[in-house]
Amino acid sequence: MLTLLDQLDKGTLWRSPGGIHPPEVKFLSNATPIGQLPLASTYLVPVPQVGENCTLAVKVGDSVLKGTPLTQGTSIWHLPVHAPTSGTIVAIEPRASNHASALPVNTCVIAADGKDTWCELVQNQLDDLSHQQIVDKVRSAGIAGMGGAAFPTHIKLNPVSEIDLVIINGVECEPYISADDRLMREYSQDILAGIGIIHRLLTPKRIVIAIEDNKPEAAKAMQTAVSQCGLPAGSIRVTVIPTKYPSGGEKQLIQIITGREVPSGAIPAKLGIVVHNVGTAYAIHQAVTQGKPLVERVVTVTGKNVGKPGNYWLPIGTPVDHVLTATEFTPEPDQKVIIGGPMMGHALANIQVPILKGTNCILVPSSQEIGSTPEEKACIRCGECATACPALLLPQQLFWHAKAEEYDKAASYNLKDCIECGCCSYVCPSDIPLVEYYRIAKSALKQAADEKQQAERAKQRFDARLARLEEEKLAREAKAKEASERRQASMTGTDKNAVAEAMARIAAKKAAAQAVTGESITEESSVTTTDTTEVPKGKAAVAAAIARAKAKKAAQANADGTDTNGAETDNAVTMDANDSISATDTIAQEAPLSQKDKVAAAIARAKAKKAAQQTDTAPLESTETADNTPALSADDDKKAKVAAAVARAKAKKAAQQAETAASDIEVSTEISVSDVNDAEAIKKAKVAAAVARAKAKKAAQQAETNAENGLNQTTTPAVDSTASVQADVNADAETAVNAVATDIEVSITDISVNDAEAIKKAKVAAAVARAKAKKIAAASAESKTDAEIESVDEIQTEANVASPLIAATLDTATTEADALLPSLGSAAEPIETAQLSSEELKKARIAATIAKAKAKKAALAQEANASSDSSVTND
């Protein structure tokens, strides 16, 4: 059985499926030698032409020589582009492309100087170069497949698998093109030199030069060159194949020469076969031995509307309109200019486009050669397209899916194996441009594949970023852990104890905050807050302590029980007063407070003790009176009840004062914590002083009015009623002055807890006010005893005498309070016109509200005293 090599040596050929025999018109251009055209004034060089991801090596204004690289890149698919002639870069801008769509591409515009001067060329001896150096020279020369596909040649010269057969394609099956025919006739020795370089790189077992039988001159020239080359005998041969279109296709030619079919989606190298064009072999020889890059190629200019048809050496980038002008182009109405042959070429929408590395023909047919495009008709399902398809595809199915834009289904029918030869369109009786549908479908599939690839790359970048961030996070954690271990290792025993204590304090504060929050929700507190979102620590502690003290007292009271309303009231008053004391004591014993909180707590304790003393005194006085009184009559019994009612009213007043003391704790704490600078504190002090003056004046007026009302309603002199009125007057005076003194203390404390001198002066002023109040009360008691007061007129006179003294004392106290303010700093402006901030206004309103509440409570108590005294007198 003969092997493949034996069959090749015998010249055995195989039939390829499909194909057509269009009329040949090669005679228009193959009769004359390859010529030269005059240089164009401007050359358009698209960058890049093959491959992507390149950068420009020139800029506008640069002077270039013929063969100067215009681009550079690192991608294996990139091929550099060279200047086709000497001149100047006048523009780098988008220009129309040599494509049916005429989409703009980035283009270097070179103004030729007419000298066509080459750059420095490096010539080499083939024996002095290694395989890799040869491949690098081919790549740096920018050589691509010259048959029309423009595939990078250096990739085919460096395959990953062993190559057994190399086929040199000289078939040129297009009916109009004759560029390879003339090249083989005139440059057969140079082509064989290039084939020798290919043989050295690939070391195949056989090299076959395939030529159609319609090119006998070219076959003879190549046969002569083979006999004269230095390649081993029998390793290379020329094979003439029958003329049929598209036998020049790579896969079709392999099938004709070897009888093997390249699998779908595979490349010929997997079968151990490589195919190169004769023009590519010539360019390889020029690049390796003479150092010339690919800057020009042979192009067939043909058609009946061209005055000088033929084959010409055209520089890459030569405008098509310049070529047509130089070959005496005579256009017709609706003239078509086709790049490539009539079967696989495409019509240009703009002739201001350049010649490319894969351009092998410019066809300008007349109306007799190629008529107008016929109207597309419906498919009749004749099957002629399937018979003519050289790739054994189903053109009907591809057409239906492509027309319906079902590109995925079209791909399932091996759309990618279509070589776009145009056989199906040529034989279609319905004049359907099938190849155009296939090209659109291929473009859509390619775009979808590119988008999918971009999405996959984006996903990979995203995953890589997440992995990098995770690594950085782990590295930071490891670094922090290592630093913590180093710190712990270097810590002494004292440092460790300090850290432990700090952690314990933090935990205790968190627990206390949680406890305060829970208790404030479940238990009713006597502390009224004005801001529930941000509560100062001292204020929260006071509220919590008071709530706990009240709960404890309530439990004790429920356990003991009471018998009468009076006893219940007394117990409640005592409970409230003791609650305040217990609360302040509890606060002092809890977590350490700030200096301001301590001052506020001390003031609260003093107020609570005072209220408790007043509460304890009232029931004792009523008890002593009852014990010293002999047996009472009915009227006396009624007086006793009135006295008991008065005592209960006073007890209620004392309880209200205890609650007010607790409220003062809240306000004092809030203001003390919030004060920051002296200017704001001075304004607050003036506000407090003004409030104190108003309360004092109002208390004096109420005391005077109550005394007058009590005496006017008296019809019968009564020693005990007079004494009661006199005691109430004195008590009101003392209470009012004490309130002023206390407010002075609170205000001064609020100003600055660190100003020891100011606090000392405030305390002195408060003590002086209290002493004056007590002195006035004692003087009033000595001037008129209970036995000496015998008439209403005397009581009225006594009240009239006492009232001015009370008012004068209160004015003196407030004047002294104002006198203390300059020692703390001068105010910017009077309180009436001071521009206060929103926070200060809020605090001032709080103080005013508290003062109004105090005054109202005092008025209610005094009215109760006056009414009870009037009842006793009437009785």
pLDDT, tens digit, 9 for 90 and up, residues 376-423: 999 999 999 999 999 999 999 999 999 999 999 999 999 999 999 999
* φ/ψ (deg, to 5) at 239: -120, 125
Determine contact, residues 18/388, Cβ cutoff 8 Å.
Answer: yes
pLDDT of residue 489: 83
> How far is 134 from 132, CA to CA, in rounded Å?
5
Give the Å distances, CA to CA, from 419 to 303, 396, 438: 25, 16, 10
| Token pair belonging to 233 | 């005998």
Q: Judging by beta carbons within 10 Å of its beta carbon (0-12, 13-18, 19+), is residue 696 exposed, middle or buried?
A: buried
Residue 563 DSSP class? S
DSSP-assigned states of every residue in 322-346: HHHHHTTB---TT---EES-TTT-E
pLDDT of residue 577: 43
Residue 307 confidence (pLDDT) above 50: yes
Helix (H) or strand (E) holding 405: none
| Token pair belonging to 386 | 């399937």
> How far is 243 from 171, CA to CA, in rounded Å?
8
pLDDT, tens digit, 9 for 90 and up, residues 432-474: 999 999 999 999 999 999 999 999 999 999 999 999 999 999 9
Determine contact, residues 137/84, Cβ cutoff 8 Å.
Answer: no
Q: Mean per-residue pLDDT for 316-334?
A: 93
SS3 annotation, 200-235: HHHCCCEEEEEEECCCHHHHHHHHHHHHHCCCCCCC
Using only the alpha carbons of the chain, give its radius of gyration: 58
Residue 173 confidence (pLDDT) above 80: yes
Q: Classify 705 as helix, strand or coil.
A: helix
Comparing 549 with 804, the larger pLDDT belongs to 549
Q: Cis peptide before 293, with omega less than 30 degrees from 0?
A: no
pLDDT of residue 514: 81
Mean pLDDT is lowest, of 129-138, 145-154, 171-180, 305-314, for 145-154
pLDDT of residue 637: 61
pLDDT, tens digit, 9 for 90 and up, residues 773-786: 566 555 544 444 44
> How far is 421 from 393, CA to CA, in rounded Å?
12
Contacts of 18 (CB under 8 A, 6+ apart): 387, 388, 389, 390, 391, 392, 423
pLDDT of residue 749: 45
| Token pair belonging to 296 | 């020009």
pLDDT of residue 658: 47
pLDDT, tens digit, 9 for 90 and up, residues 805-836: 444 544 554 454 445 444 444 333 333 333 44
Mean pLDDT is lowest, of 517-521, 635-639, 664-668, for 664-668
| Token pair belonging to 585 | 């004591």
pLDDT, tens digit, 9 for 90 and up, residues 564-621: 444 444 444 444 444 444 444 444 444 445 555 666 666 767 666 666 666 555 444 4
Mean pLDDT of the chain: 75
Q: Mean per-residue pLDDT for 115-120?
A: 93
Q: To which residue do tokens 């905050």 refer? A: 513
Contacts of 409 (CB under 8 A, 6+ apart): 401
Determine contact, residues 506/498, Cβ cutoff 8 Å.
Answer: no
Strand partners, 169: 210, 277
pLDDT of residue 534: 41
Q: Classify 129 as helix, strand or coil.
A: coil
Torsion from C-alpha of 235, 239, 245, 248, nearest 10 degrees: 20
Please report which confidence band the pLDDT of residue 301 belongs to, taking 50, 70 and 90 as the band edges. Answer: very high
Q: Classify 198 as helix, strand or coil.
A: helix
pTM, full prediction: 0.57
| Token pair belonging to 554 | 């309530």
Residue 562 confidence (pLDDT) above 70: no
812: how many CB neighbours lie within 10 A of its CB?
Answer: 16
Contacts of 571 (CB under 8 A, 6+ apart): 557, 562
* Closest alpha carbon to 372 in 436, 435, 431: 431
Q: Mean per-residue pLDDT for 663-670?
A: 43
Helix (H) or strand (E) holding 50: none
Q: Are strands 338-339 and 361-363 parallel, antiparallel or unpaired?
A: antiparallel
Mean pLDDT is lowest, of 219-228, 405-414, 697-706, for 697-706
> How far is 262 from 178, CA to CA, in rounded Å?
28
Q: Judging by beta carbons within 10 Å of its beta carbon (0-12, 13-18, 19+), is residue 372 exposed, middle or buried?
A: exposed
pLDDT of residue 328: 93
pLDDT of residue 201: 94
Determine contact, residues 248/361, Cβ cutoff 8 Å.
Answer: no
> How far is 359 from 339, CA to CA, in rounded Å?
7
> How far is 753 from 817, CA to CA, in rounded Å?
17
Give the rounded percent of residues in the chain with a pLDDT score beyond 70: 60
| Token pair belonging to 80 | 């550099």
* φ/ψ (deg, to 5) at 222: -70, -35
Determine contact, residues 207/166, Cβ cutoff 8 Å.
Answer: yes
> How far is 411 from 398, CA to CA, in rounded Å?
8
Residue 728 confidence (pLDDT) above 70: no
For residue 382, the one-letter residue type is: C
